[in-house]
Structure 1
Amino acid sequence: MPSEQVLLKPRLAPMIWLTETSAPVCVEISDGLRRTLFRRMSSLISGSLVGLIIIAILLYRNPIPAFFAWAAVDTILVLFRFAVIGRLMRILRDPSLRRPRDTLVVDAFIAGSVLWCAQIGVGAFLCMSLGDPVLAVFGTMLSTGIVGAMCARNPGSPRMVKLQMVLIIVPYAAGAAMGPEPWLWPIVLIAPLYLWGTISINRELHIDYLKMLMAQQESSHLALHCSLTGLPNRSSFKARLKAAERNASVLFLDLDGFKAVNDQHGHPAGDALLTAVGERIRGCVPDPADVARLGGDEFAILVHADDERTIPAIATRLIAEVARPYALPTGLVVRVGLSIGIATRRDADNDPMLLLPEADQALYEAKRAGKGTYRWFQPANDADLSSQVRELRDMLPKAQTVREHGFEAGLSVTRA
């Protein structure tokens, strides 16, 4: 299923450039900035309706052909934008509705927004250049009102906002300069200041929004990753395990001899060793396997392999690589070993969350076998279960007798 980030990304190079930031950011931050284009759709609708109302008033006051042409273009663009917005909202609510022809829906949204601002600029030019004070008032209200709202509405795409503002304010000021009324000429000086101010506000909002997204990403990363090794943590691993498919296998890894290194050389040496071990484990596992540090000296790997015969090769390589000496930054050279427990999801109906405790049980068997090896999880059969039940049944009377004798002995001591 396509994600919201994929759906909201334009395809054409000019549209991508318009909606990107000049700051060097990762893909997730870039997508987060771009999503501000699609917030508060109500403001887009209200702005379009206000524009239509003002155009109707201007036509009533001065029904010249230029205003009729402006009204026609504005109506077409508004209807086009409404159609694109409606389609975009339906796709975001239900990505399964996406069709091949929808690949350019975001590009159409951006192009429609830019063209709409361009025709608003043309209309403002007409209002200011005709010398009618009433038209000048409405033209000023329309152009400055839209630009003022635009600078605060979209802090994610400053390039696009700057272009939209210029397309509105420059024709507005040009119309005032070319009009027959001298009292409108000061607008030629005021308009650049207004444009500079709104661009500055949008730039500051962009910086603040960018910092917020970066802080959110860092917080999310810290919540789902080990701060020492940079690997996903237990919570992140369980989330990925929950979504695992039928061909999933879990390798539960535990270091042999780590405690001795940590106790003898201190925690800084232990931390450096864990970081180096994490790097080696990551280098031994083919993509798209997921490697995580569960805590302490325990790691886990989620492998998606159609052929289970590849798992022993991975386990063997892990044991060999981890066992090689480590030259720590402190100058120490240390060694540790590795034991691995493996569990595989053989039935699609089985809960993938059971793989982790099953691999943990297999790890216990690997430790019992002498460490430095791996063991597969072996489900208990009915005979084993019956034997375990009989052993527990035999142990209950003995436990009861011990408890009673101990209690009586305690009473005797108390009495004495």
Structure 2
Amino acid sequence: MQNDSRLFSLPRWRVTRWLTDAGHDVPDEIRKALVASLFGTLPIFAGGVLNTLAVSALVAWRMPQKPFLLWCVLECGICLTRLLVLVIAQRAAAARRRTPTDLYILLGLAWAASVGYGTFISLTSGDWVVATLACLSAAAMVGGISFRNFGAPRLAGAMIVLTLGSCCLAAPFTGEPLLLITFLQIPFYLASMSAAGFRLNRMLVATMQAERDHAFRARHDSLTGLLNRAGLADAIAARRDDLAALLYLDLDGFKAINDTHGHAAGDQLLQAVAERLRTSARPQDVVARIGGDEFVVLTDVLAPAALIAFSDRIVAQISVPFALDPARTVQVGVSIGIALAPEHGTDLAGLLSAADAALYAAKALGKSRSALAPLRAAA
């Protein structure tokens, strides 16, 4: 998973989407993390660039002919462009802007094709030193490709084909019949590396999915799917610099229903209450269950009159009877205590303490109503 604040855009072109596809059932969050992995491992990227630049330059120096000079120019152009696009993508991701992901993937394929071209002309040159340099370089690059791109195994496979496939194409033109064995070696190698890449990718996706599920369970209530106390604390911390109001809700009459109809009915009622709170809250509001029949709504509505009106709407919606099944209908109320941040605190403990005092005041007034914690007098 992505641990920093950089967000890399998913590819938009059909071919690049196919090359980076991780499966139809993979969440977008994991897809983005897999795409981000293509922009990482910078030491491997730098090593690959320096290697191919050095090899193409040395080969061109040893054999200053047009095909080899062209390869050197291609390597310089592609590598410099890849580096420029990588820097642009890193900065755009840090700024939460769209990144040139499609172009970056296309340049990776172009680089692999350039290495393959260099391997082809080196093998057919008749110079064993040049051929050795080019083939060793290509083999080394395949290792880096496999390690750096196993988050996108189709892309890794395509780059390996472009890099080493030229060995098969060059074999008939070398005049060495023994090299025709590459028609067996290279396809077998490509198949085994591709299979390993897909296997590693599946393991990676499974691990990331498990981490994602664990993180979700750690921050969400298992019964209702709402944020739990830890998730609510994180949400408040994220709004530390922005004013917000915390509504502390406690159901009225829930214990009697739970005792009369059983815990299963009580759980069903809590789930129904959570769903009504979701529909009552605005998209930017945060809804949480912090235990038992206690819920919290975090909102940016601040005007006292608007807060009371918002709370009264919640009271009215929760008071509508719930149908547990065709034969059973139950009704509960809800009392609400309201605290403001930062007036009553900036963390969960401080806000809940103030809201809890307001909640008791609301219950003392007859339940199924809301009360605002008293504001501190200005100094």
Q: Distance in 2 between matches of 1:331 and 1:132?
A: 89
Following superposition, the deviation at residue 90 of structure 1 comes to 5.7
Following superposition, the deviation at residue 83 of structure 1 comes to 3.3
Following superposition, the deviation at residue 312 of structure 1 comes to 2.7
**CA displacement 1:237-289 (0-9 Å, x = unmatched):** 12212232544211110011112222233322221111111111111112111
Q: Distance in 1 between matches of 2:11 and 2:195?
A: 29
**CA displacement 1:159-183 (0-9 Å, x = unmatched):** 3222212222222321123332212
Instruction: Evaluate the alpha carbon distance shift between residue 66 and residue 170 of structure 1 in structure 2; reply closer, same or farther with a 3 A threshold.
Output: same
**CA displacement 1:135-168 (0-9 Å, x = unmatched):** 3333332223322332233221223222212222
**CA displacement 1:350-405 (0-9 Å, x = unmatched):** 636543322221111111111111111113659xxxxxxxxxxxxxxxxxxxxxxx
Residue in 2 that maps onto 1:135:
130
Q: Distance in 2 between matches of 1:18 and 1:197?
A: 18
Residue in 2 that maps onto 1:13:
13
Q: Does 1:318 align with 2:314?
A: yes
Q: Does 1:365 align with 2:366?
A: no
Greater shift in the superposed pair: 187-196 or 9-18:
9-18
Q: Following superposition of structure 1 onto structure 2, how do residues 15-94 of structure 1 map, counting pairs within 5 Å?
A: 15-89=16-90
Runs of 4+ in 1 over 6 A off after TM superposition: none
Q: Does 1:379 align with 2:372?
A: no
Instruction: Evaluate the alpha carbon distance shift between residue 222 and residue 161 of structure 1 in structure 2; reply closer, same or farther with a 3 A threshold.
Output: same
Q: Aligned to 1:233, which of 225, 228, 231? A: 228
Kindly, what percent of the aligned residue pairs are identical? 33
Instruction: Evaluate the alpha carbon distance shift between residue 358 and residue 30 of structure 1 in structure 2; reply closer, same or farther with a 3 A threshold.
Output: same
Q: Aligned to 1:251, which of 239, 247, 252? A: 247
Q: Does 1:174 align with 2:169?
A: yes
Report the residue type matching 2:117 in the other structure: V
Q: Distance in 1 between matches of 2:218 and 2:306?
A: 32
Residue segments in structure 2 that go unaligned for 5+ positions in a row: none
Residue segments in structure 1 that go unaligned for 5+ positions in a row: 383-416
Report the residue type matching 2:122 in the other structure: C
**CA displacement 1:46-65 (0-9 Å, x = unmatched):** 11222223223433443322
TM-score (norm 2): 0.88
Residue in 2 that maps onto 1:410:
none
Q: Distance in 2 between matches of 1:306 and 1:12?
A: 41
Q: Distance in 2 between matches of 1:116 and 1:4?
A: 28
Which of these two proteins has the greater Rg computed from alpha carbons?
1
CA RMSD of aligned residues (A): 2.7
Residue in 2 that maps onto 1:278:
274
**CA displacement 1:60-99 (0-9 Å, x = unmatched):** 443322111101111222223333444555666xx36x8x
How many residue pairs get aligned? The number is 373
Report the residue type matching 1:207 in the other structure: R
Following superposition, the deviation at residue 311 of structure 1 comes to 2.6
Following superposition, the deviation at residue 118 of structure 1 comes to 1.3
Report the residue type matching 1:328 in the other structure: L
Q: Distance in 2 between matches of 1:307 and 1:180?
A: 86
Instruction: Evaluate the alpha carbon distance shift between residue 107 and residue 4 of structure 1 in structure 2; reply closer, same or farther with a 3 A threshold.
Output: farther
Q: Does 1:214 align with 2:215?
A: no
Report the residue type matching 2:156 in the other structure: V
Following superposition, the deviation at residue 327 of structure 1 comes to 2.5
Q: Distance in 2 between matches of 1:381 and 1:51?
A: 71
Following superposition, the deviation at residue 186 of structure 1 comes to 1.3
Residue pair 2:149, 2:155 contacting (<8 A) in 1 also: no
Residue pair 2:92, 2:98 contacting (<8 A) in 1 also: no
